[in-house]
A and B are shown apart, each in its own frame.
Chain A
């Protein structure tokens, strides 16, 4: 079965720390990977897309992709209380243009 797996959390980190969110997926042929942030009661909003192995940085966010090991991660540097949200990983499994979403990891950044 094609799946995208995330630890539901909550992941609790102190303000200023690095938060590391992980996602594994089932299909080695997957090509497109996305991270979304969802605040409670709001809709998902795109943080980053990544398509190639390695790291991609955007401000305090870094996405890391390892296709051989079938995982994608999101690092949040200098975490702020405003980063407290659920983070959704989405993968176009096997090259499908329809993404499959993980169930999300809840992140809590405490002052």
Chain B
């Protein structure tokens, strides 16, 4: 299995609080991604990174920010969580070559009350 660790695995928090999710990889892959998965919507890309300090927005980036200060870590931050951000969040990685498949972490189940 690809070495991807997401933390925390589960989190319950209140509206308006900041939340940071962490994705850690041991594969030294260049590309890292954050998705959210909701019933009826499938996997939707939030942000992605193509190198240290190189990030870009996905289709549902509003309300989220990311940082990548090291190859192995990609952080997703909800600055002020809202109930609409209750979801399952997946991190994925893919190697340097383009058009290679992604491998996913185990996910974080986030509930915002």
Contacts and interface: CB of A to CB of B under 8 A. Distances in A.
Q: How many residues of B sit at the interface, in one of the four size bands?
A: 20 to 34
Interface residues of A, number: 20
20 contacts: A31-B99, A34-B101, A34-B102, A42-B107, A43-B104, A43-B106, A43-B107, A44-B90, A49-B101, A88-B42, A88-B43, A90-B102, A92-B98, A92-B99, A97-B99, A98-B45, A98-B58, A101-B43, A102-B42, A104-B42
B40 to A, nearest CB: 7
Interface of B: 31, 33, 40-43, 45, 48, 58, 90, 94, 98-107
Contacts of B102: 34, 46, 90, 99
Contacts of A102: 42
B42 A46 contact: no
B1 to A, nearest CB: 9
A98 B48 contact: yes
